[in-house]
């Protein structure tokens, strides 16, 4: 689905998770042995009044830009190859390059696709299908997702997850009753960050693996197109260097699209096992323990198109509102291991208005405000308000 979404704004508005069908449609548009180029890009101005960095210095307003080409190649009728590169400038004006994914699809039959390589994990809706800036209705990511441009003072529950491994996706056509989509994958899995005892969990894909176990996961969704879809995802794998500590996460996503409005959202929960040592009063050391660190979050987003009013000059105008919330059971006992997760929970609200220049080009004006609930748990947490002006395009 993500490939059709990156090539068609119309498909992005009316489809949700037709990964198998959409991939097949894209494939039919390519000749065997032909290379095709798709992708997206954006330029974003961010106004950040009263924000501070970790050293207490003012964070300056900045302009960032990205260009994200997607290369598509049909090796044969059954084997297709795709890769996405991201070229971006950061707040310091430096150019960064990242391989988002690079994989091969094997069309086993009309309903089954086997993917091998580095790919976006089918975990929820936003990460795999909605995060490209011209498809994302807001100029920033939902609060539960960190990375990809930063998340201000609110730490995301997860990143836009990609990893290396194998995925098997199926589409089950139920006729008038709708469709069922399934994905099951095995990937390298999470890894342990540097730190005393357990250390934090790093989900971003890296070369190789730090232990002998793979992470397993998948998503099952039911869709009654083109109006609504609901899906459930799960992910679990050992993250510590010795393979003794586990990280697991779940996601429930929903999506409804009407003639002039839409509502989507996700509920995300994660649990990381951590290990430590209680200090005894006499000997100075106590027994080792394993404690679960839970972190969860959710967001809900609504859009409305002003063309419902019947005025032609309002046809390109779209309004967006999104609310995000993050919670954790951080109590300081695992501060050295999960310090970055400690004091960055709270809520965020985003308001925006979009003006569609073309079906695949949009000008966004948005403002978001963040409230930190446990600022005392981390010295680096500060509430922030940000204003965005973004031009995003797909091709």
Sign of CA dihedral 195, 196, 201, 205: positive
**Predicted pLDDT at 36:** 92
**Predicted pLDDT at 359:** 94
- The conformation of residue 196, written as its DSSP 8-state character, comes to S
Q: What three-state secondary structure class fits 181?
A: strand
Q: Which residues of the chain have pLDDT under 70?
A: 1-30, 50-61, 91, 147-153, 155, 194-200, 205-208, 276-290, 330-344, 374-383
Written as one string, the DSSP assignment of 227-249 is TEEEEEEEEEEE-STTS--EEEE
**Predicted pLDDT at 32:** 78
Sign of CA dihedral 224, 229, 232, 235: positive
Tokens of 324: 């995000």
Following CA atoms 225, 324, 159, 337 in sequence, which dihedral angle do they give, to the nearest 10 degrees? -150
**Predicted pLDDT at 94:** 80
- Using CA atoms, how far apart are residues 373 and 5, in angstroms rounded to an integer? 36
Query: How far from chain centre, in Å, is Cα 33?
Result: 32
- At 67, phi and psi to the nearest 5? -135, 125
Q: How many residues does the chain have?
A: 395
Say if residue 358 is preceded by a cis peptide, omega within 30 of 0: no
- Using CA atoms, how far apart are residues 324 and 349, in angstroms rounded to an integer? 6
The secondary structure element, H or E, covering residue 290 is: strand 288-305
**Predicted pLDDT at 201:** 78
Tokens of 72: 């598509």
**Predicted pLDDT at 147:** 56
pTM of the model: 0.82
Tokens of 362: 């949009």
**Predicted pLDDT at 344:** 65
Longest CA–CA separation in the chain, Å: 79
């Amino acid at each position: 689905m993500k490939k059709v979404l990156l090539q068609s704004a119309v498909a992005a508005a009316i489809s949700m998770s037709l990964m198998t069908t959409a991939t097949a449609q894209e494939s039919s548009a390519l000749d065997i042995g032909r290379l095709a180029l798709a992708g997206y890009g954006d330029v974003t101005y961010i106004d950040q009044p009263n924000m501070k960095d970790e050293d207490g210095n003012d964070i300056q307003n900045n302009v960032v830009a990205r260009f994200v080409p997607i290369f598509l190649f049909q090796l044969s009728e059954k084997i297709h190859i795709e890769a996405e590169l991201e070229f971006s400038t950061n707040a310091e004006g430096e150019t960064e390059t990242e391989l988002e994914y690079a994989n091969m699809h094997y069309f086993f039959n009309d309903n089954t696709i086997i993917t091998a390589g580095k790919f976006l994990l089918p975990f929820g809706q936003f990460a795999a299908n909605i995060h490209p800036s011209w498809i994302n209705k807001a100029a920033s990511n939902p609060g539960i997702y960190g990375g990809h441009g930063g998340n201000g003072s609110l730490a995301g529950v997860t990143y836009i997850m990609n990893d290396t491994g194998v995925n098997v996706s199926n589409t089950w056509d139920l006729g008038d009753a709708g469709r069922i989509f399934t994905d099951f994958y095995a990937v390298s899995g999470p890894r342990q960050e540097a730190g005393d005892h357990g250390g934090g969990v790093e989900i971003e894909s890296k070369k190789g693996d730090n232990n002998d176990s793979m992470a397993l996961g998948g998503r099952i969704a039911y869709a009654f197109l083109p109006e609504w879809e609901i899906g459930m995802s799960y992910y679990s794998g050992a993250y510590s260097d010795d393979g003794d500590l586990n990280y697991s996460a779940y996601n429930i996503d929903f999506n409804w699209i009407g003639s002039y409005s839409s509502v989507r959202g996700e509920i995300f929960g994660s649990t990381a096992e951590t290990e430590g040592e209680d200090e005894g009063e006499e000997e100075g050391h106590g027994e080792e323990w394993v404690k679960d660190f839970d972190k969860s979050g959710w967001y809900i987003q609504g859009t409305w198109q002003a063309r419902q009013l019947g005025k032609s000059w309002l046809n390109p105008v779209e309004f967006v509102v999104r609310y995000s919330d993050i919670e954790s059971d951080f109590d300081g006992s695992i501060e050295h291991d999960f310090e970055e997760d400690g004091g960055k929970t709270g809520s965020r609200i985003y308001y925006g208005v979009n003006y569609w220049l073309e079906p695949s080009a949009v000008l966004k004006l948005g403002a978001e405000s963040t409230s930190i609930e446990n600022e005392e748990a981390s010295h680096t947490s500060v509430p922030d308000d940000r204003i965005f002006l973004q031009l995003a395009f797909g091709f």
